[in-house]
Structure 1
Amino acid sequence: MIPNGVTPADDQAAADIFGVSLGYWQDKKHWTKIRGLKLLNRKGSRRRIYSKEQLIAAQVEEARAKAVNETPKFDLPPVPAGEHPDDLLDLEESLQVLPEERRVTLATWKGYRYGTKTRLPDRDFILGGKEVDGEIVGGDDFWRRQTILDWDANRPGPGSEPGRGRKVGSKNKAPRPLTPEAQERRDRTRQLLDENAAGLTGKSLAKDLDVHPVHAERLLSAARKDKVRDLLKERPKLTVEDVQRELGLHVVAHARKLLDEAGKATAEQ
């Protein structure tokens, strides 16, 4: 779990802070030499997670101690304890947030990650990974505690209270109207996508809009979906190759997913 108020850092970020290579940091297991450094990752997870604030304090103390030939005396900032709505949880930790009677099996929960009938909400944060075609791949997904609880509050299932969840035959409510600022960001994203689809990335969009990279990725993803829907209306026989060419995508799976989602959305209208 990444507690609210902590800036998460992985091994690569830790190595950068200490001015060493990633291989050196991992081979020497430098984190074990820092008294009081707390690992935030769940046991068994593939990626170590640290508090960036603790790492910086440790690096400063090591540099001071080395300069005066002393043993480092670590006094690291504490990691917040307790639970907070904005704590970031990985996929398995998110399942444990639910009341026991509402939990499904871990295999089912993992299926919800990319499910079609029951699907988890969009991730709130990605740690690590690389950017490919404007999307982060290979990173670890995290959800805010409150995001999962809000999602579960509207999900019928085992242990549901009578009347809980959507009633049979109920219709979708009209979406909330966008604020002028939100609409302006969406319009700007679509404009940039139309002007240079191949060159637009979440990172460049975040800088242009002055928003968090995670939010920029969402805006870019939504704009791509909207564009494919528009193309599909004009060209009902739109192909995956067409989508790749129009959006400058190199990964076939990404283009196919966009086309499938656009097709479903068009059919439901």
Structure 2
Amino acid sequence: MIPNGVTPADDEMAAKIWGVTVGSWRDSKRWEDIRGLKLLNRAGSRRRVYSKDQLLAAHTEQERAKAVNEMPKYDLPPVPAGEHPDDLLDLEESLHALPESRRVTMSTWKGYRYGDKTRLPDPDFNLGGKKGEDGQTVGGEDFWYRRTILDWDKERPGRGSEKGRGRKLGSKDKGPRRVSAQALERKARARQLLDENLGQITAATLADDLGVHPVHAERLLREARLDQVRDCLKERPDLTIADVQAVTGLSVVSHARKLLADAGGNVTRD
């Protein structure tokens, strides 16, 4: 959790403050030697999160101590305790911010984040992401204000919600839900990486680039490959399974065959 009022920093920012490479910062585990430095990320999260103010104060003290040849005497700014509506929560923390009676399983919650039915609101903040050529943020880790999640939950259909929320039984509104701008951006990024790397990209690589769950990255990668094959079929209706493998980087013949079939190609042709 990133408490309200704290400016967050990740390993990359910490390394810049210390004037070292990210690899050096991580290999030396410098954060372990700074008394009072608080890690803001929950146990098990893939990204370390710090208070930027604490990092700056710690570095200043280290430089002072080095100049006078003594051990650092850290007196770091405190990190707020307790809960606040403007605390920033990662995906798992957001789930646990809900009353216990309103929580779903983690897999269902991830489905709300990445699925096309019930959807979480767009993130309020991204840490560590990079701006793409289109101005959209790619990668990093998403966070939501506590109040954003709680306000969204009040409107969520289900046990304990207000009557009348969501689509009513027998509703004529059967159209697909609107795809968010972030979903479109991620889909475009997956296709871009697939094209730039001539099909040689894995779901793990894509997950790391987009900062999404590997399962979601696997789905995005398949959609990108499917779009790729469809585009090829427009120019080459006689596309073969071997051609699909060459274009998408798939090594398993059965996977390439299914992709070609799903794209509308002829799988009986060698």
Contact 2:155–2:161 (CA under 8 A) maintained in structure 1: no
For 1:231-253, what per-residue CA distance to the aligned partner results, in whole angstroms no more than 9, with x for missing partners? Answer: xxxxxxxxx9xxx8xxxx94577
Instruction: Name the amino acid aligned to 1:19.
Output: G
The alignment partner of 1:81 has SS state of: coil
The 5 Å alignment of 1:231-242 reads none
Contact 1:133–1:250 (CA under 8 A) maintained in structure 2: no
Question: In the alignment, does 2:34 pair up with 1:25?
Answer: no
Question: In the alignment, does 2:25 pair up with 1:13?
Answer: no
Q: Distance in 2 between matches of 1:251 and 1:123?
A: 23
The 5 Å alignment of 1:184-263 reads 221=181, 250=192
Q: Distance in 1 between matches of 2:2 and 2:165?
A: 30
Question: In the alignment, does 2:154 pair up with 1:153?
Answer: yes
Instruction: Name the amino acid aligned to 1:160.
Output: S
Give TM-score scaled by structure 1 length. Answer: 0.63
Residue 182 of structure 1: aligned partner? none
Instruction: Name the amino acid aligned to 2:73.
Output: K
C-alpha deviation, 1:137, in angstroms: 2.4
Residue 113 of structure 1: aligned partner? 113
Residue 100 of structure 2: aligned partner? 100
Contact 2:17–2:59 (CA under 8 A) maintained in structure 1: yes
Residue 89 of structure 2: aligned partner? 89
Q: Distance in 1 between matches of 2:28 and 2:166?
A: 54
RMSD over aligned Cα, in angstroms?
2.9
The alignment partner of 1:46 has SS state of: coil
C-alpha deviation, 1:167, in angstroms: 6.9
After TM superposition, the runs of 4+ consecutive aligned structure 1 residues lying more than 4 A away are 251-254
C-alpha deviation, 1:166, in angstroms: 4.1
Which of the pair has more CA radius of gyration? 2
For 1:95-141, what per-residue CA distance to the aligned partner results, in whole angstroms no more than 9, with x for missing partners? Answer: 00111111110000001112211000001111113333433222111
Q: Which runs of 5+ in 1 are unaligned?
A: 172-217, 226-239, 261-269
Q: Percent of pairs identical after alignment?
A: 65
Q: Distance in 2 between matches of 1:153 and 1:21?
A: 44
Instruction: Name the amino acid aligned to 1:59.
Output: H
The alignment partner of 1:74 has SS state of: coil
Aligned residues: 187
Give TM-score scaled by structure 2 length. Answer: 0.62
